[in-house]
Structure 1
Amino acid sequence: MVIEMKLKPIGVIRTPYLETAPYQPVHDDFGEFRVILLKEYSKGLKDLDRFRYIYVIYYLHRLQRSISLIEKPSWAQGVEVGLFASRSPVRPNPIGISIVRIKKIKENVIFTSGLDVIDNTPLLDIKPYIKDLDSKDDANSGWIDSLKNSKKHLLLHIRGIPHDF
């Protein structure tokens, strides 16, 4: 069954990244990170500042790779996994999601910790991160747990953090 869907941006995300961005948000990243809502949505920010973290949902408008249902993450020692078992941004619907900390909100602008998106990325939605609903104590790392390298080393690769090992 095919359902026609229409999404429209509710704002834009501003970051210092013009061509490439980290694989995941870097909490204490340098630069200014802002989620700017269109003025017509400003009232929707009421009480959002009472939360520490938010989900930022966006459209990956600059992706140019074609979709592959099998991914081979560069950091995963040649392991092949299905697209939906990966964090690849290249997906049938190029929608991204990041969890970031709210630093402050001023009018229609949310200042956040580091975001892993290219500057001027279209914003689709914002949702509060609620500790008791969104944190799962029994979560695991799936197939990553079976890799030989230490988890710490792999997480550095996933996050795109330069390191020596």
Structure 2
Amino acid sequence: MTRPLHSMESHSVQPIGYIESDFPDKFGVPRQPGLAAAARASLILVPPYDDPLAVRGLEAFSHLWLTFVFHHSPARWTPLVRPPRLGGNAKVGVFASRSTHRPNRLGQSLVKLSRIDIGGVDIGGNDDRARVRLALTGCDLISGTPVLDIKPYLPWAEALPDARAGYAPAPPPQLAVRFSAAAEATLATRADAASLRELIRQVLAQDPRPAYRKGAEERLYGVRLRDVDVRFRSLDDDGMPMMEVVEIVPA
């Protein structure tokens, strides 16, 4: 069967804005949105999409769908991928996964809208001004992520509790997280101590290590969150793995 020519046309897209978030790097980013509710982010719209008229009425919605580009992922893709949920060994088709290694590197994220700032918002301290900034929480996007579109989330249309979820039927298990005395001492010096502590706990509870590294081991890892490097390790607690924050140092 011959495809209509118009169905094979290529389409160009351009970002409407970009993300500033608590995640400077890919490592440690939650694998799904909402798993780290303490994660803060901003979507800063760029001209000509920063017209305040473009977000009129958006404040009436609590959650948004963001379509974005996995800009730190390679352009190459393969038909089979290894989902972390399957231990990093079993393979499924790329279209049966949420892998970042996709043909067009497109992603979709459901985030909570906390606030809309309009008009002359300082975004860098160098006379940079943003006409429209959306304050978000529960975000799973790294800083610099290009955003292509925004759509309001409609729970009556898009929340389907009886839908099948394949090999990911439930949220990932949460590990216990403890903080060393040195880490607690560092947190005590920060104005954002409470929110940073909760962000660290939520990120490490999901065990951000690569799937092939899972299991208790005392190797030291580092994950960048906000402006710090959080150094942690996995320990065995009566047969159960747990995470220990060893130290928190400036990134």
Scaled by the length of structure 1, what TM-score is found? Answer: 0.83
Inter-CA distance 155–128: structure 2 relative to 1 (3 Å threshold): farther
Inter-CA distance 27–19: structure 2 relative to 1 (3 Å threshold): closer
Aligned residues: 157
Match of 1:61 in 2: 71
Match of 2:82 in 1: 72
SS of match in other structure, 2:84: coil
The separation in 1 between residues aligned to 2:74 and 2:10, in whole angstroms, is 23
Match of 1:84 in 2: 95
Equivalent in 3, 6, 16 of residue 9 of structure 2: 3
Contact 1:71 1:82 in 2 (8 A): yes
1:50-70 superposed Cα distances (whole Å, 9 cap, x missing partner):
011000111111212731211
One-letter code of the match for 1:11?
G
Q: Point out which structure has higher relative CO (alpha carbons under 8 A, 6+ apart).
A: 1
1:32-71 superposed matches below 5 A: 32-41=40-49, 42-64=52-74, 66-71=76-81
1:95-106 superposed matches below 5 A: 95-106=106-117
Equivalent in 118, 122, 129 of residue 146 of structure 2: 122
One-letter code of the match for 1:132?
W
Q: Which runs of 5+ in 2 are unaligned?
A: 1-6, 119-131, 176-202, 208-233, 235-240, 243-251
Match of 1:112 in 2: 136
Q: Answer with 16-25 or 6-15: which moved more.
A: 16-25
1:19 aligns with 2:25: yes
Q: Which runs of 5+ in 1 are unaligned?
A: 146-150
How far residue 8 of structure 1 moved from its aligned partner, in angstroms, is 0.7
How far residue 2 of structure 1 moved from its aligned partner, in angstroms, is 2.2
SS of match in other structure, 1:127: strand
Root mean square deviation of aligned Cα:
2.4
1:121-151 superposed Cα distances (whole Å, 9 cap, x missing partner):
1110000001111111321211445xxxxx4
1:50-92 superposed Cα distances (whole Å, 9 cap, x missing partner):
0110001111112127312111223314322111111101100
Greater fraction of residues in strand: 2
Scaled by the length of structure 2, what TM-score is found? Answer: 0.56
Q: Answer with 98-107 or 61-70: which moved more.
A: 61-70
Contact 1:27 1:100 in 2 (8 A): no
SS of match in other structure, 1:36: strand
SS of match in other structure, 1:75: helix
Match of 2:125 in 1: none
- Compare CA radii of gyration and give the structure with the larger one: 2
One-letter code of the match for 2:69?
Y
The separation in 2 between residues aligned to 1:75 and 1:140, in whole angstroms, is 16
